[in-house]
A and B are shown apart, each in its own frame.
Chain A
Amino acid sequence: MRVTSRHGLLALAASVALAALPLRAQDTTPPRGVHLGLNYNTGAPPGVIVGVVRALWGDSIQTILERDFDAGDRLTVIGMAGTPAAGAIAQVGSGVNYVVWKTLGAAAALQLTVASGALHVVLHDVAKGAVLQVRDFPLPSSIGSAEWRLALHGVSDEVERWITGTRGIAATRVLYVSGKQVRVVDSDGWGDHVLTATTTALSPAWHPSGKYFAYSALTPRGWRIELQDLPTGSPRALGTTPEGLNITPTFSSDGASLAYAHGDEEGVDLYVTPMANGNPSGAAVRVTVGHGTDNVSPSFSPEGHRLAFTSGRVGHPEVYLADVDGTNVEPLATDVSSDAAYRSNPDWSPDGRQIAFQQQIGGIFQVMVMTLRDRTVRQLTSEGRNEDPSWAPDGRHLVFSTTRTGVRELFVLDVESGRARQLTHGSGGRLPAWSPSLVSSP
């Protein structure tokens, strides 16, 4: 938050106070909605109790919400199945009991019932002993389906925003490559299935609407960018020339631009194509002039004015930043002259503050993150080979590909706490892309 000399001391004090709050990527203004009676610091996320849900598939609803809150790392779930608290909560059941809830250490408690095709949610502030929020969330009638689960994930995300001020990331999916095809999986690992049926498909990228994705497809004469609608659709090719290399597509946050790498016999450069209604709406504009070098894997800054990308222009792959018109190119790292480094696959965080990338440390790739404000770099992984980081919409979680279990799988990492959980179990998972929120904020 920049403070110029035109702003007064009051504004400076206000911006310092705001900066001291825990980093909330989704809302850069102070959290709206509820403030709970319980004070907490970032080391101890507020405890939440999900009450017993008296409904068909109530156990599933309770489990889905609890797992979503736990995976978000912003709430401490009290009473997950098998814990001693679970018994006490079961005794309270679907009713209200502030005394029991308080002794269990909860800051918030939820009452959930299903009526008239909607999930009726009541949020209690335990310390205040009062109801804070009540809302009905419509649920699809296809109980247990992918749509039904997504609606419940949307409930988790909204409740998280009520309690912490930050919207959750449960109502999202991850595209990735395994077995030479693009697959998709829910954020909780459910519903993993294949989407493409081509020779080889790599580098999937979400359109921000969540309605279609782009990827690189191998043809007998070269690589081309293809687009495919979700949940099902036939692929359509971008452009008409099948020769050469057309790879690593990525969309701007407003969905109006598609950047990709294109080359044939004289190196590979970045191009940007305007998009409208799921198709190119104008000619591609060249961004980099590599003079025979290779420039691939672009990633837009969230406001769409800059690109991060991989380039071999100094003789080995490094990450660079440039304006979208190709000017103001600068290396990400300060020691680019050292030819022992290999940096690649940048992903710009949704709040614009950080860039995740992979770097060879001792010859083995690790996931790194650079804070742009002061250019400090943190190494986030150390076990196995770790590549292809992709940010969740909260700018706090990353999905990446790792060999730490012995086979290549996707894992999710909480950058703030360092907690990691396994997302895929099919083996061979790589090149993941985390979707935007797939449920609109009510």
Chain B
Amino acid sequence: MRTTIRLSATVLAIVTAAACSKPKPETAPAPVAAAPNPDSVARARAADSAAAAQAKAAAMAKARQDSIDASKAAIEQAKAAARAEFAYAVYFDFDKSTLTDSAKRVLDRKIQIMNANPTLTIQIQGNTDERGSAEYNLALGQQRAASVKRYLVQHGIADARITIISYGEERPADPGHDETSWSHNRRDEFVITMGDVSPTP
């Protein structure tokens, strides 16, 4: 019963819509627009162009700001990359504080960065794995930090730009208890204490 009624309503709606889309017969005079006032047209045109100019200026300013932001972001990104590169740790063999060849390559890059950024001062943090006596490991970590400082100073970095500290086995980078984890913990970390790193070519 309800369906039938709805259908009829639908049919009615369609018929009505069809009736409305037909052009009305010419029975009444078409409305006539008032003649435009020259002043208001000029004013409207002026307002339009002012608005347009404003919009254009805003768009240009935004584009400039976007460009500045993009450059800033690019610089920050490059700086972050340079800082990250500077923060590369140097790793050691078990029970040793001597520098491996790969350690020296990492240090040579740091020397470049420090030479390009003369205001940079750093702290070298010496660490050990968890094996061995915790007390003796404080001394071993100190040796590892001193060993790297010695290399940097021998290659021309001013002594006063570098301080050292040992964390022994107290601050592992890797909490695991196997050879791989231990190799991640026998390291020197590099922390910037003053100045910043500009991106270097």
Give A residues with C-beta under 8 Å from B. 180, 200, 202-203, 216, 218, 220-223, 243-245, 247-248, 261, 263-268, 294, 296-297, 310, 312, 316-317, 342, 344-345, 358, 387, 430-431
User: Judging by beta carbons under 8 Å apart, are B135 and A247 in contact?
Assistant: yes
Is B36 engaged at the interface, CB distance under 8 Å to the other chain? no
* Docked-complex contact A265 and B135, CB < 8 angstroms: no
The reply to whether A245 and B142 form a contact with Cβ atoms under 8 Å apart is: yes
- Residues on A with beta carbons closer than 8 Å to the beta carbon of B170: 180, 200, 202, 218
Q: A268 to B164, alpha carbons, bound, how many Å?
A: 14
B180 lies within 8 A of chain A by Cβ: no
List 9 tightest A-B contacts by C-beta distance, closest first. Answer: A294-B139, A344-B133, A265-B146, A268-B139, A297-B135, A245-B142, A248-B135, A317-B136, A296-B135
- By secondary structure, the B interface counts as helix
Q: Which listed residue, B138, B146, B166, touches A266 by the CB 8 Å rule?
A: B146
A221 to chain B, nearest CB (A): 7
Q: How far is the CA of A387 from the CA of B134 in the complex (A)?
A: 10
Chain A residues, CB < 8 A from B138: 202, 216, 223, 245, 247, 296
Judged by a CB distance under 8 angstroms, whether B163 is at the interface is yes
Q: How many residues of B contact A (CB 8 A)?
A: 20
Contact of B142 among A221, A268, A310 (CB under 8 A): A268
> Are A221 and B95 interface neighbours, CB within 8 A?
no
Number of A-B contacts (CB under 8 A): 76
Question: B134's contact among A268, A312, A430, by CB below 8 Å, is which?
Answer: A430
Contact partners of B136 in chain A: CB under 8 A: 294, 296-297, 310, 312, 317, 344
* A213 to B157 CA separation, bound complex (whole angstroms): 41
How far is it, in angstroms, between the C-alpha of A296 and the C-alpha of B137 when the chains are bound? 10
Q: How far is the CA of A406 from the CA of B135 in the complex (A)?
A: 22
Q: List 17 A-B contacts (CB under 8 A).
A: A200-B170, A202-B135, A223-B138, A243-B163, A244-B142, A245-B142, A263-B139, A264-B146, A265-B150, A267-B139, A268-B142, A294-B140, A296-B135, A297-B133, A310-B133, A317-B132, A342-B133
Say whether B149 faces chain A, with CB atoms less than 8 Å apart: yes
B185 CB–A CB distance under 8 Å: no
- The reply to whether B135 and A267 form a contact with Cβ atoms under 8 Å apart is no
Give bound CA distance, A294 to B165, whole Å: 15
Nearest residue (CB) in A for B139 is A294
Give bound CA distance, A383 to B182, whole Å: 23
Other-chain residue from A222, A296, A358, A430 in contact with B139 (beta carbon distance below 8 A): A296
Supposing A221-B163, A223-B138, A265-B149 touch, asked if A345 and B133 sit within 8 A by C-beta, the answer is yes
Inter-chain contacts of B127 with A (CB < 8 A): none
Give the Cβ gap from B168 to chain A, nearest Cβ, in Å.
Answer: 8
Q: Mark B139-156, 1 if CB is under 8 A from A, else 0.
A: 110110010011000000
Across the interface, which residues of A come within 8 angstroms of B163, CB to CB?
A: 221, 243
CB distance from A410 to the nearest CB of B (A): 14
Chain B residues closer than 8 Å to A203, beta-carbon distance: 135
CB of B157, distance to nearest CB on chain A (Å): 14
For the complex, give the distance between the alpha carbons of A316 and B136 in Å: 10
Which A residue sits closest to B132, measured CB to CB? A342
Shortest distance between the CB of B85 and any CB in chain A (Å) = 24
Q: Report the bound CA distance from A431 to B140 in whole Å.
A: 18
Interfacial chain A residues near B139, Cβ < 8 Å = 245, 247, 261, 263, 267-268, 294, 296, 312
- Verify A345–B142 contact, CB threshold 8 A: no
B134–A431 touching, CB < 8 Å: yes
User: B24 to nearest A CB, angstroms?
Assistant: 88
Residues of A within 8 A of B149 (CB): 265
CA distance A310 to B137 in the complex (A): 11
Q: Provide the bound-state CA to CA distance between A180 and B149, in Å.
A: 28
Alpha-carbon gap, A268 to B139, bound state (A): 7
Q: Determine the distance from Cα of A263 to Cα of B168 in the docked complex, in whole angstroms.
A: 14
Question: What's the minimum C-beta distance from B191 to chain A, rounded to whole angstroms?
Answer: 10
- B95: min CB distance to chain A, Å: 7
Q: How many angstroms from the CA of A268 to the CA of B137 in the assembled complex?
A: 12
Report A-chain residues with C-beta under 8 Å of the C-beta of B150.
Answer: 265
- Interface 1/0 per residue, B157-201 and A, CB below 8 Å: 000000111110010000000000000000000000000000000
B80 to chain A, nearest CB (A): 24
B114 smallest CB distance to A (angstroms): 18
Closest to A339 in B: B95
B122 → chain A, closest Cβ, in Å?
A: 13
Closest residue on chain A to residue B146 by CB atoms: A265
| CB < 8 Å neighbour of B143 from A218, A243, A294 | A294
Closest Cβ–Cβ distance, residue B169 to chain A (whole Å): 10
A358 & B164 in contact (Cβ 8 Å cutoff): no
Contact of A223 among B95, B143, B146, B166 (CB under 8 A): B166
Nearest Cβ on chain B to A243's Cβ, whole angstroms: 7
Which residue of the partner chain A has the closest CB to B166?
Answer: A245
For the complex, give the distance between the alpha carbons of A310 and B132 in Å.
12
Which chain B residues border A316 with CB–CB below 8 Å? 95
Q: Which residues of B contact A344 (CB under 8 A)?
A: 132-133, 135-136
Most chain A Cβ neighbours within 10 Å, of B133, B165, B166? B133
Q: How many whole Å from A222's CB to the nearest CB in chain B?
A: 6
Contacts of A244 in B (CB 8 A): 142
Report whether B95 and A222 are in contact in the complex, using a CB–CB cutoff of 8 Å. Answer: no
